[in-house]
């Protein structure tokens, strides 16, 4: 994986972003979506060009992505929400850090006041630790908020960073 390029996603990238998202949600350990989640449902909320999408690419292959969108409508739209996906084959190579740092910078450029993650599965320790290293705080925890494929009910964190 030489020469990682982080770039805005275009319409031609959406199939690959969907495949990456589907791979990650099918692991049943990171996102609340289950095996019944359809592309149409995910496109409605996340994978569409109304949101800000960036991809991590190397040698023409997309192996990571993030999606930014307002956390709420109207008077809550000054806080950005985000989703991140890293292909299993690319994990442990600082791709998540690159995506996180890039998304924070981009959210600042877009004029957001803060970034909030509404649903960070507590057993995803790599993500929790990364977000904390990047300045996020856990501002709330939902006990048993995620039915983990292997571990049963585990907590979910809400994480926040003032930009």
Structure tokens at 55: 């991809």
Which range of residues forms the domain containing residue 73? 5-116
The bridge status of strand 114-121 relative to strand 137-148 is unpaired
Q: Please check whether residue 158 lies inside any domain of the structure.
A: no
Is residue 142 domain-resident?
no
Q: Is there a domain that residue 42 lies in?
A: yes
Token pair of 119 as six digits: 């649903």
How many separate domains does the chain show? 1
Domain membership flag for residue 83: yes
Q: Which helix (H) or strand (E) holds 13?
A: none
In a domain, 104, yes or no: yes
Say which DSSP state 161 is in: E
Q: Is the dihedral of CA 30, 94, 89, 54 positive or negative?
A: positive
pLDDT, tens digit only, all 163 positions of the chain: 568 889 999 889 888 888 888 888 888 778 888 878 888 887 777 777 888 989 999 888 888 999 999 999 999 999 999 999 988 888 888 899 999 999 999 999 999 999 999 999 999 999 999 999 999 999 999 999 999 989 999 999 999 999 9
User: What is residue 97's predicted lDDT score, i.e. its pLDDT?
Assistant: 94
In a domain, 139, yes or no: no
For residue 38, the 8-state DSSP code is: -
How is residue 137 written in tokens?
């705080």
pLDDT at 2: 63
In a domain, 157, yes or no: no
Give the 3-state secondary structure of residue 72: coil
In Å, what is the CA distance from 6 to each residue of 62, 77, 108, 127, 149? 10, 25, 17, 19, 31
Please indicate, yes or no, if residue 160 is contained in any of the structural domains.
no
3-state secondary structure of 104: helix
Residue 112, both tokens: 């957001």
Q: What is the CATH number of the domain that holds 53?
A: 3.40.630.30
């Amino acid at each position: 994986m030489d020469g990682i390029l982080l770039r805005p996603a275009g319409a031609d990238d959406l199939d690959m972003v969907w495949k990456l998202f589907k791979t990650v949600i099918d692991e049943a350990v990171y996102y609340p979506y289950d095996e019944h989640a359809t592309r149409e449902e995910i496109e409605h909320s996340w994978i569409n060009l109304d949101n800000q999408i960036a991809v991590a690419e190397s040698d023409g292959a997309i192996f990571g992505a993030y999606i930014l969108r307002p956390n709420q409508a109207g008077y809550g739209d000054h806080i950005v929400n985000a989703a991140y996906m890293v292909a299993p084959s690319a994990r442990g190579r600082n791709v998540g850090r690159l995506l996180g740092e890039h998304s924070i910078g981009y959210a600042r450029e877009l004029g957001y006041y803060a970034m909030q993650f509404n649903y960070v599965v507590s057993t995803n320790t790599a993500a929790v630790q990364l977000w904390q290293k990047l300045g996020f705080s856990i501002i709330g925890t939902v006990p048993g908020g995620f039915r983990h494929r292997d571990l049963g009910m585990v907590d979910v964190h809400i994480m926040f960073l003032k930009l």
